[in-house]
Amino acid sequence: MTWLNGRVILITGGASGLGREIALQSARLGAKVAITDLHEQRLEETRADVTEIAGDCLALKSNVTDEANVVDAVQQIISKWGQLDTVVNSAGVYWKAPITETPIAEFDRVYNVNVRGLYLVCREAAKVMLPMKSGHIINIASIAAERGILEESVYSSSKWAVRGLGACLAVELGQQGIRVSTIFPGGMDTNFWENDPRKLSGEWNGSRMLQGQDVATAVVHIASLPPEVAIKEALVYRPGV
C-alpha cells in the first residue's frame, strides 16, 4: 500500500499537462485529490476524470499569484477533508527571448507565477503541516535550473529560484518532519508548449521529448515514499537524449 492512499494531495496547475497526469495517477493510488487552475473547462474535465477514478475531487478555479486565492484554496481543502498531506506545485508559465527584447511585464508575469505563486502555496501549506509535523511539498522546477539556456534568462532564472527555495525549505521545514522535494524534468511533450512556435512549426520532435505521464509517474513515486525517506532533488530525463 502506498503512502498516498487515503491522504490529501493538492496539485496546482492541475487541470492540464503534467499537473493533470499527477492528479490522475494520485487518484489511482487512493489519494484524495484537490486541483487548482485558471482554465475552467480543463479544470472541469480533469475534475470529472479524477472523480470517475476516486469518487471525488475538489477542483478550484484559483490564481496562485493571488494571495487571497491561495489562502482560500487551502482553507477549502481543510474544510472538506481536515488535512493537507502533500502539495505539488506544478503551475508554471514560460517566456523565451533575448534579454534586450524582453518587456519587464513578461519578467513580472513569469516570476509572479513561477516564484511568487509557488512561494505562497508553500507558505500556506507549511502553516497546515507544521502543527502535524508531517507533510510533503514537491516543487516542479525544470532542467533549465540545471544550466544556463540561450534566450531563457527569465524562465531559467525563475526555475533557479525554485531550486533555491526548495533547498532552503528542505532545511527549515525538514527539522519539523516536513519533506521538500524539487523535481527537474527535461522537455515534456505537453500542452505547456501548445503555442510555442518551435512546436507549431515541427522544429521540436515530440517523440524525442518526455511524456507528461512518465514524469508524473516519477513525481507520484516520490510522493508515495514513506515519511522516513526524503528525496531532496530529482532530475527526470529521457535516456539517451
Looking at the domain assignment, is residue 109 inside a domain? yes
More confident residue, 197 or 30: 30
Does the pLDDT of residue 33 top 90, yes or no?
yes
Q: Of 45, 49, 121, 120, which Cα lies nearest the Cα of 88?
A: 121
The pLDDT confidence band at residue 210, using thresholds 50, 70 and 90, is: confident
Looking at the domain assignment, is residue 241 inside a domain? no
Give the pLDDT of residue 87. Answer: 98
Question: Residue 35: which residues within 8 A CB-CB, separation 6 or more?
Answer: 10, 11, 12, 14, 15, 19, 20, 23, 43, 46, 47, 50, 57, 58, 59, 60
Give the pLDDT of residue 1. Answer: 62
Looking at the domain assignment, is residue 3 inside a domain? no
Cα–Cα dist 15/33, whole Å: 12
User: Domain containing 213 — which CATH number?
Assistant: 3.40.50.720
Give the pLDDT of residue 103. Answer: 98
Does the pLDDT of residue 192 top 60, yes or no?
no
Catalytic residue among 94, 119, 155, 237: 155
Cα–Cα dist 198/99, whole Å: 19
Decide if 172 contacts 201 (C-beta within 8 A). no
C-beta contacts of 172-176 below 8 A and 24+ residues apart: 173/126, 173/129, 173/130, 173/137, 174/230, 176/129, 176/130, 176/133
Looking at the domain assignment, is residue 28 inside a domain? yes
Give the pLDDT of residue 191. Answer: 59
Does the pLDDT of residue 206 top 60, yes or no?
no
More confident residue, 241 or 106: 106
Question: How many structural domains is the chain composed of?
Answer: 1
Give the pLDDT of residue 212. Answer: 87
pTM for the whole structure: 0.92
Looking at the domain assignment, is residue 2 inside a domain? no
Looking at the domain assignment, is residue 1 inside a domain? no
**61-120: pLDDT as tens digits:** 999 999 999 999 999 999 999 999 999 999 999 999 999 999 999 999 999 999 999 999
Question: Residue ranges of the alpha helices (H) in the chain?
Answer: 17-28, 40-54, 67-81, 104-111, 118-132, 153-174, 197-200, 212-224
Catalytic (active site) residue 94: no
Mean pLDDT in residue range 130-137: 98
Q: Which domain holds residue 50?
A: 8-236
Cα–Cα dist 118/135, whole Å: 16
Give the pLDDT of residue 205. Answer: 60
